[in-house]
Every structure is written in C-alpha cells, then in structure tokens.
Amino acid sequence: MKEDLERVRAWAQEKTQSGGEPPWAWYQYMKLIETCDAILAGMDATTTTANSPQSEPHSDAHLRLVDSTYPQDSARPRHVGLPVQMPM
C-alpha cells in the first residue's frame, strides 16, 4: 500500500511540474499530494508506535465509578417571562 501511495504522489507531482495543467486540475493534484503525504505520515507513525516497546507494562487496575462533588443543578433558576438584559 505504501508503494502505491508513493507512486500516486510521484505521478501527481509530475503533473503539477509539467505546467500544462489547467488551474483547477493543478489544485486537485496538490490536494492529492497533500493527502498522500498525510496518509504516508500516519502510516509511518503507526508502524513506529506499534514496533516501539511499551514504557510501562499494563497493570490489571480497572476504572472505578466515583461520585461527583459538583452538583449538576447548581445554576440559579431564571423566572420565565422576565426580560433578559443584553449588553449594548
């Protein structure tokens, strides 16, 4: 897959450097080049991360549910029908 993306990127690069493409096509080729670059960078990042040793081994600790110390209904109620003061 990586070789295919590199080939497509090189083809699009040749098209932009030829100078014979209309502006709308040149723009599309540039987007294709940028997209290929982003995908290739992502592929490199994931293979690097997947092959790197873990800094800490996974522990057997699990998440636990805790009670919130902040009530969700702490806002003061606003009476319906009263006008709201807007800054000017």
Q: Are 52 and 72 in contact (CB under 8 A)?
A: no
Q: How would residue 11 be classed by pLDDT, with cut points 50, 70 and 90? A: very high
Q: Find the domain containing 39 and state its range.
A: 2-44
Provide the whole-model pTM: 0.52
Residue 81 has pLDDT above 60, yes or no: yes
pLDDT tens figures, 14-72: 999 988 888 889 999 999 999 999 999 998 888 765 566 655 566 667 777 777 666 66
Domain-located, residue 25:
yes
Domain presence at residue 13: yes
Query: Computed from CA positions of residues 50, 53, 59, 64, in that sequence, does the dihedral angle turn out positive or negative?
Result: negative
Q: How far is CA 52 from CA 30, 41, 46, 58, 83, in A?
A: 33, 16, 10, 15, 61
Tell me, yes or no, whether 77 lies in a domain: no
Does residue 9 lie in a domain region? yes
Number of domains in the chain: 1
Q: Which residue has the tokens 């070789």?
A: 3
